[in-house]
Amino acid sequence: MNKLEYLQKFYPNTDNKILAEHLGISEQSVRRLASKYNIRKSKEYMKKQHELLLKAKETKYLSSIPDLHPTNYQLNIIVGSILGDGNLSYAPRGRNAYYREHFCQEQYEYRLWKCTQLKDLGFKINKNNTLKSISHPIFSALYEKFYINKKKTITYDNIKLLNEPVGLACLYMDDGTLVISKNNKPNITVNPIITLYTLNFSEEENIILQEHIYKSFNIRFNLKRHPDGKKYILTLGKREEIFNFIDVVKPYVSQISKMDYKWNIDKRIRKESKNVKRINLSNFYSRKFLSYTNDEIDKIIDFKRRGFSDKEIANKLNRTYWGIVWKIRDLKAKNMI
């Protein structure tokens, strides 16, 4: 069998490299002879080569994806932010979603804090005041959970991912306010009010969030109508609930100096009392405030050494569970436990 006969028989379904080795010529010579005598590759061969090419591209793409493993702490920052100012999106031809949130310059310190917590997940701050992640299957999975028909949505399933105080703190720092309310009586009294402006979510979604916060953090928000957005927000008006809420989020909010106004009720009220002399602080400070006394700290240390659980300590001191968890972590960091 001469070269031409061999090519006519085997060229349609054989790799050129194999043909060249058998004939003792170059691959270029194989292609030249096939072209000269109008010998073509078969459709089956071309289909197989196309499939191999796609498989090689897929393998290369998958190998280029960073191996990221967010901690539950990091996941809560992301989830709390998705419920707030953040969003997930796909590039026009992107295969995986990415996270982003825009902010003004006054919020830079807060976004820098977020970026620092999430740096090993590929988060960066761009020049145009945008906190952005890389595209990654992690964010595609979150997109599937939090976006229904391309709209951000709260469900009984996805809200379970908000299960650490830092997530609630991020939602609060994104969309929450602390207002010091005053009445007009001769002896003015003050009362703090905390609001989560969850106006992007429906009444049903707000109820899901309200129930979840109570179940997970033992803080009972009230559902309230509002003229804007989807008409509903969540509020706290009872002082004890407000103190409990601050107790939960303070360890994280207090890390950002410009967020001082969102947790430091003591400072806010004393500032108001300087401006308005008729404010009566006696009733306000007759209640237990947020800081831990030396006696409480001694009791926490003693209870912990005696083997009490965090929940048992919280019940004994009439404190929130998460507040005790944070305080114990703080005492351990100071080598006091």
Please tell me which of 1-10, 184-193, 303-312 the model is most confident about, judged by mean pLDDT: 303-312
> How many residues are present in the chain?
337
Computed over its alpha carbons, how large is the radius of gyration of the chain? 31
Residue 189 pLDDT exceeds 80: no
State the average pLDDT over residues 106-133. 95
Q: How far apart are CA 308 and CA 115, in angstroms?
A: 36
Instruction: Give me the CATH topology for the region 72-285.
Output: Endonuclease I-creI (3.10.28)
Structure tokens belonging to residue 299: 């009791």
According to the model, what pLDDT value does residue 276 have? 64
Q: How far apart are CA 105 and CA 182, in angstroms?
A: 31
Structure confidence at residue 93 as a pLDDT band (50, 70, 90):
confident
Structure tokens belonging to residue 271: 């500032």
Question: 278-302, pLDDT tens digit by residue?
Answer: 655 555 544 444 568 899 999 999 9
According to the model, what pLDDT value does residue 280 have? 58
According to the model, what pLDDT value does residue 320 have? 80
Pairing of strands 147-148, 87-90: unpaired
Q: How far apart are CA 99 and CA 131, in angstroms?
A: 8
Q: What is the domain partition of the chain in residue ranges?
A: 3-64, 72-285, 294-333
According to the model, what pLDDT value does residue 126 have? 92
